[in-house]
Structure 1
């Protein structure tokens, strides 16, 4: 066959590769990176790394056949490269979603888009399998363009600032309603996209040489091909080492920022009518109707009678909320003989504020009153019968909502379903867990659903129930918060390596704390199949509940709209549900509130853990919400 005049193209490719090779070597020296592999790391590779390894093997076989002028070799070259192009294109683009998540990566995304665009143009020539001089020259020009893009891509991808910015930016809330994504997942997705871009560049350039080698049988391109191969092997290796270094530093957690719509918090619920501020006279707090003590003497008592002139006296104040029919706790002196009480019309409050005779106000003095009470003390036998502010713990009240479901919520592992998201919800006064259930795919990925899909991945345990339903048992189906047992562990529960999260549930510890358990199931990373289903096990955090997060004079979380709540990262902590501060809110609400937003990564992915956390700002009671731990992909990036 005749020789095609392609000397200029070859010289430019060679010059570009020689220059890039030098740059790569320098970059590798400056980075001074070493990959530490341990014996317990999985032998499996990420898809793009596996594809790279497979291509290097295929490429060498094709060159041997070209040198021996094998039958139909050009068709084999076309078909082999078409397969690799299709796989590389199918497994790229996930990092493009990071455009909306990370600032200052527009250039990187655009370069990757240029590589994809050039690849698609090259593919169109490849599919036509045209063999004329013009087509081959055009394809070689594609190779030149994509190599330049690859060099630019490499320059951006090996800049530490890019990766450090990702980790820093995803460490906290920035915008109302954001999901704080895992920097680990973003780094891994970008790594896959960038490696895929390098691979497409390399495939295009190698194929260009193969076509030239086929038609220019008298020419020897081995030196240029080896430079190309060495350069890209070094690029692949450098990026793997950078990814590993920053994946080690990255955060695997996913959680939700506050969502505020029209200056109102949305997607929350609360424990209600539990340990609520309540005014009563000390004469009603003991069986002898004595006023000889002080309010603080009454740490745990009941409403024994209703003395004439006290709030509960129907002749004095005809108000149901002036009474407490449960246990009365932790009383304190109001320190005033007479106070005016502003009643509320809200079902989860008794009072809006208490106004003292000297002008002081406990609570929100600007709130609208739906009734007014006057609490007066009196003197009997030279002893003052004082009014007290106490906590009313009325477990039998129809208004109280203080229950947590203990039922497990699990994915359908028989159908290869895993958990990719978690939310908290309240139904019939009971806090439930709900999950996003999706099909596990190869390499730790999960199926996605379009915005208009009929498939709804979110589900709870069973049908919602009432605590007084037939065959519903306390401490089996649900647990009740009490004064003594009102703590919830803010723990992270992780599954072992090689396992994924397929279930979640609340459980009560021996210390009386509500805590999380997760179910773990083994899986095959390459095939994306769950395995050994009967060996699935429930996992807990044995270190949970060690350090209490104490709220300092907490107020109503809904009153803090100017700043977004920030997460408290105290490890192995717990927090007690309790009343808001007396002076801020007359101890009317139970905090923390419960964040009921759905929490799932922007790109659904396998999880290796689930936890609870507390987020707040100064003065707020804050919110409790679920936090996810995405699967650890670091060990699947193998530089070999």
Structure 2
């Protein structure tokens, strides 16, 4: 009991010391010394209790409250031991980080420092010779001739100490050898300085996640092998080595990134025999890795490790046969993906399968690489763990095997990254939605209504004099001025807006009116000459006979077919112009978009669109051209653009429409973005709007995409195809007379959400037109995914 009372305060005092922040390495070493002493004392105490308990006398002694206190003390000792282990590991990591930092600094700067020293030494020698010459010149009348001659010969003689040689040496250090084949950054100081300056001014681009994870593990693996080498000759160090290797791998494999598993059939669009075999191998590695992880799950700590179980696991991981050889699988991955250029084929296939993948071609390739590379890394960590544990258990040295494996891994990774970077540079980054299986208004598409709509009106009502002296073609912009004698005009809803482009089709006709709740006016119109406007079918409201007539046998009062531009409750023609910006204060970014009669953004965090502020166009203080844009015959053009940026440090965080002349034009809002942290950088200040300012009469002039005599967009059975290009524009117009009696406004709008799977930051956003020849087609949003290519870094040096 006295021993217990003595040890516990000492342990508590040690804990207090451990919780206080250290300031120098010397202090850390002192603390570690104390820790080791405490560990020895603790071990002694535990052994002493073991002796007492194993003594025959102990069985006859009843210690009051002994067992309960003993449990508490032992539990506390375990906690202290665990904290000691954590502190040792942290200290080892700090030391490794410091060594790595110093090594990196020396590697990057030692050549420059050496050359700067050479230049300084050479300049000092020349300066010393020059100062000596100045002294000789001052005393030239008193010096012996032989002294001056000796100085001159010493200065110009062809030896390593002559000024001529020193000047040549200075030139070579600065500019390198004149022989271009030997001129490299290792011999040319100016190039080295330029490279170093570029590195200082433009820090290296962060790696993509899986590459950074690989780099981290390679550093960990090197540190562990160095540790095993340094402790190889120590006595009674087996348990310590096991704990070191075990805990390091357990902590690394506990990272969230390492929990992702390879999903079977995720890349089935590749539909390639070689890929099917490779996928089988990747799944095998994933399942073996699950068994490997179970080792860490089932065993709470390294002390509880079952040696036989670990050796059996290592044997399964390192088995070398035709079916389950890990090195063979890794070589096969490179052969299929790199040598047989499956990455290139994946780029082509994914470009044609965007409807199925909902990923840009570049994103598909990036995802494919990330999954394969992560699976490779899992295989590599398992093999390294196995080599290390075999060494710790005394089954061999295995240092050379590990070095060869690392070298092969590095070479394969370098070749893969070179090809991947080239493929990703070529791959498209656009994502859009394909046609749904079934078009549903208000769900998959929407339409502008009653913008320009076919309308029958007699000439007598097209002028306020009620005359019939002109032809229908005379009335290109007019109004319905009355209803003469309550003829057919009294049996149809009047066009209260302007009438455009009137024309004569035939004198007499049968008109099939649309249902009263429809935005159409007519289902079809059949003329006596046999011409039918629209699709003739069953008329639920019954047809109405409409005939033209003669006035005084001189003027023919004809029924004209015009286009009605009417703003009414049945006319949906408004586009929101208010800013739609993600919640940048909470680090939200745009990852998708949709169209309706307004443009909506989607937040990466919420996975749903930020709602546009609701308002009524008739509300007070709500203005056309400021809050909304109203389509009309004169203002019905929309620009088709890809608004993107090549600056990878900015991503889309908002979107809006503006009006340029008579065109509705898209703008994207960009905010500065840190790829490494995934955080926006002071978005309140580091943000800006961007758009394509070209028009059809200025700049790089826009090209008009024309629609003529088009049918209703949803009547085609063929899937729509993208038909527009950047820097074009299109007019909202009426459908064809013969195909639809000009009752609909096209193009329709695709209102399906456009978000990549998985969502990623966006480098741009755009509007495009898709359709089929002879049909009205659709306007829809497209997104341009973030360019991951700069983050694919081919290592300049080995890991």
Band the TM-score falls in, shorter-chain normalisation: 0.7 to 0.9
Name the counterpart of 2:658. Answer: 507
Classify 1:50/1:508 alpha carbon distance in 2 versus 1 (closer, same or farther; 3 Å). same
Which one of the candidate residues 205, 221, 234 is aligned to 2:398?
221
CA shift, 1:404, in A, is 0.4
Partner residue of 2:728 out of 573, 593, 600:
573
The one of 670, 673, 680 equivalent to 1:530 is 680
Q: 1:595 — aligned with what?
A: 750
Find the partner of 1:436 among 592, 599, 602. 602
Tell me the secondary structure at the aligned position of residue 496 of structure 2.
coil
Do the aligned partners of 2:350 and 2:364 also contact (CA within 8 Å) in 1?
Answer: no
The residue that corresponds to 2:643 in the other structure is 493
Distance 1:41 1:191 in 2: 25
**Shift of residue 220, structure 1, vs aligned partner:** 4.9
Cα offset, 1:639, TM superposition: 0.8
TM-score by length of 2: 0.67
1:549 aligns with 2:705: yes
Matches within 5 A, 1:26-105: 43-69=205-231, 72-87=240-255, 90=258, 92-93=260-261, 98-99=266-267, 102-104=270-272
CA drift at 1:88: 7.5
| 1:11 alignment partner in structure 2 | none
Q: Please tell me whether the aligned partners of residues 115 and 150 of structure 1 are also in contact (alpha carbons under 8 angstroms).
A: no
What corresponds to 2:318 in structure 1? 143
Unaligned runs of at least 5 residues, structure 1 = 1-36, 426-430, 440-454
1:391 counterpart residue number: 563
Give the structure with the higher percent strand.
1
For residues 33-82 of structure 1, give each alpha carbon's deviation from its aligned partner in whole angstroms, at most 9, with x where no partner exists: xxxx9997952101111111222222222212111216523322222222
Larger Rg: 2
Shift of 1:553: 1.7
In terms of mean alpha carbon deviation, does 577-586 or 62-71 score higher? 62-71
Select between 226-235 and 370-379 the one with higher mean Cα deviation: 370-379
**Alignment of structure 1 residues 314-353 onto 2, 5 Å:** 314=490, 319-321=491-493, 323-334=494-505, 336-345=506-515, 346-353=517-524
Aligned residue in 1 for 2:384 = 206
Higher helix share: 2
- Partners of 1:465 and 1:262 in 2: CA distance: 28
Matches of 2:638 and 2:203, distance apart in 1: 35
Distance 1:488 1:100, change over 3 A: farther
Matched, 1:121 2:281: no
SS in 2 for 1:171: helix
**Does residue 554 of structure 2 align to residue 382 of structure 1?**
yes
Alignment check: 8 A CA contact 1:171 1:180 kept: no
The structural deviation recorded for 1:378 is 2.0
String of CA shifts for 1:345-374, please: whole Å, max 9, x gaps.
152111111111122211101153424333
> Do the aligned partners of 1:180 and 1:257 also contact (CA within 8 Å) in 2?
no
Alignment of structure 1 residues 300-319 onto 2, 5 Å: 300-308=477-485, 310-312=487-489, 314=490, 319=491
Q: CA deviation at 1:585?
A: 0.5
Rounded Cα–Cα distance in structure 2 between residues aligned with 1:308 and 1:173: 61
Determine whether 1:272 maps to 2:449. Answer: yes
Range 299-308 or range 82-91, more displaced: 82-91
Q: Secondary structure at the match of 1:194?
A: helix
Partner secondary structure for residue 158 of structure 1: helix
Q: Secondary structure at the match of 1:98?
A: coil
Alignment size in residue pairs: 570
Q: Deviations over 1:233-288 (max 9, x none)?
A: 11111221222122122121111111133999952111001110011122322233
CA RMSD of aligned residues (A): 2.7
The one of 738, 742, 767 aligned to 1:612:
767
Alignment of 1:238 onto 2:424: no
Q: Distance in 2 between matches of 1:60 and 1:544?
A: 60
Q: d(CA) in 1 for partners of 2:223 and 2:569?
A: 77
Q: Secondary structure at the match of 1:238?
A: helix
Q: CA deviation at 1:231?
A: 0.9
CA distance in 1, matches of 2:695, 2:334: 44
SS at 2:343's partner residue? helix
Distance 2:441 2:577 in 1: 31
Alpha carbons of 1:638 and 1:259: their partners in 2 closer, same or farther (altered >3 Å)?
A: same
Of residues 185-194 and 338-347 in structure 1, the stretch that sits farther from structure 2 once superposed is 338-347
Contact 2:468 2:557 in 1 (8 A): yes
Q: TM-score, normalised by structure 1?
A: 0.83
* Contact residue 378 and residue 386 of structure 1 kept, 8 A: yes
After TM superposition, give the deviation of residue 106 of structure 1 in Å.
Answer: 4.7
1:167 paired with 2:335, answer no
Given that 1:42 and 1:636 are in contact with CA atoms closer than 8 Å, whether structure 2 keeps it comes out as no
Go from structure 1 to structure 2 and tell me whether the alpha carbon gap of 1:489 and 1:179 turns closer, same or farther (over 3 Å shift). farther
Q: Residues 98 and 186 of structure 1 are in contact (CA less than 8 Å); yes or no, is this contact kept in structure 2? A: no
Match of 1:111 among 281, 306, 309: 281
> Which residue matches 1:626?
781
- Tell me the residue number matched to 1:158: 338
Native 8 Å contact 1:272 1:401 kept in 2: yes
Query: Are residues 1:404 and 2:560 paired?
Result: no
Secondary structure of 2:313 counterpart? helix
The match for 1:295 among 472, 477, 492 is: 472
Give the Cα–Cα distance (whole angstroms) in 1 for the partners of residues 501 and 637 of structure 2. Answer: 18
**Residue 483 in structure 1 maps to residue 658 in structure 2:** no
* 1:159-198 alignment runs, 5 A limit: 160=340, 162-172=342-352, 180-198=358-376
SS in 2 for 1:417: coil
Structure 1 residues 338 and 168: CA distance shift in structure 2, 3 A:
same
Q: Give the 3 Å change call, closer, same or farther, for CA 174–351 of structure 1 in structure 2.
A: farther
d(CA) in 2 for partners of 1:174, 1:139: 42
Q: Which residue of 2 aligns with 1:354?
A: 525
Contact 1:544 1:573 in 2 (8 A): no
Q: Is the 2:636–2:663 contact (alpha carbons within 8 Å) kept by the matching residues of 1? A: yes
Aligned residue in 2 for 1:15: none
**CA–CA distance in structure 1, aligned partners of residues 709 and 394 of structure 2:** 83
Aligned to 2:146: none
Other structure's SS at 1:390 match? strand
Ranked by relative contact order (alpha carbons within 8 Å, sequence separation 6 or more), the top structure is 1
Q: Secondary structure at the match of 1:279?
A: strand
- The residue that corresponds to 2:22 in the other structure is none
1: CA distance, partners of 2:594 / 2:398: 59
Structure 1 348/386 Cα, relative in aligned 2: closer, same or farther at 3 Å?
A: same
1:237 counterpart SS class: helix
**Would you say 1:558 and 2:724 are equivalent positions?**
no
Alpha-carbon shift at residue 196 of structure 1 (Å): 1.0
* Structure 1 CA distance for aligned equivalents of residues 380 and 735 of structure 2: 63
Q: Is the 8 A contact 1:276 1:590 kept in 2?
A: yes
Q: CA deviation at 1:227?
A: 1.8
> Matches of 1:174 and 1:343 in 2, distance apart?
42
Q: Deviations over 1:120-165 (max 9, x none)?
A: 2123335634362553243132133433433333333225553344
Query: Could you list the per-position Cα deviations for residues 442-485 of structure 1 after superposition, in whole angstroms to 9, with x for gaps in the alignment?
Result: xxxxxxxxxxxxx66333222x2221123322211111001111
The answer to whether the 8 A contact 1:95-1:189 is kept is no
* 2:163 counterpart residue number: none
Establish whether residue 539 from structure 1 lines up as the match of residue 690 from structure 2.
yes
